[in-house]
């Protein structure tokens, strides 16, 4: 069986997600976002405020944005190409790009967890 390089990274990300799920994390406790320097200082509360402000509390568009980003980066990885993070002057290719894919998967997982915990604020009449 011939497994692509991305397949190995995807398998690793899946194992990571399964380990976190089987560790008995409560629904209220979401993992921290992965540390990616060009993402800045993101936190559960910051992302929640962003979704409340930009998407009126609807998490679906925010999650879809990161799923599109993941698909694009996977495609670039599968083509053995690279991406450039212009504001940092960083080029990611090969294993470094594979590691970034894992970080995006982790970000999506944390975001889905948050979406299940943060609710759109109710408006009183």
Q: How confident is the model at residue 7 (pLDDT cuts 50, 70, 90)?
A: low
**Number of C-alpha atoms within 13 angstroms, CB side, residue 83?**
19
CB atoms within 10 A of CB 12: 15
Residues ≥6 apart with Cβ < 8 Å to 125: none
| Average pLDDT, rounded, for the chain | 84
Q: For residue 51, which of 41, 43, 42, 61 has the smallest C-alpha distance?
A: 61
- Say what the pLDDT of residue 117 is: 87
pLDDT in tens, 14-47: 555 554 454 334 345 899 999 999 999 999 999 9
Task: Check: CB of residue 57 under 8 Å from CB of residue 63.
Answer: no
Whose tokens are 């540390």? That residue is 35
Q: What is the pLDDT of residue 112?
A: 96
pTM of the predicted model, to two decimals?
Answer: 0.73
Mean local confidence (pLDDT), 90-116: 97
Q: What is the pLDDT at residue 8?
A: 63
């Amino acid at each position: 069986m011939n497994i692509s390089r991305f397949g190995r990274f995807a398998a690793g990300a899946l194992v990571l997600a399964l380990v976190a799920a089987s560790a008995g994390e409560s629904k209220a406790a979401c993992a921290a976002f992965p540390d990616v320097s060009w993402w800045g200082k993101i936190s559960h509360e910051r992302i929640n405020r962003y979704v409340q402000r930009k998407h009126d509390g609807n998490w679906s568009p925010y999650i879809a944005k990161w799923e599109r980003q993941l698909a694009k980066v996977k495609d670039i990885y599968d083509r053995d190409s690279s991406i450039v993070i212009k504001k940092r002057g960083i080029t990611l290719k090969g294993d470094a790009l594979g590691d970034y894919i894992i970080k995006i998967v982790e970000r999506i997982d944390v975001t889905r967890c948050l979406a299940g915990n943060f609710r759109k604020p109710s408006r009183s009449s």
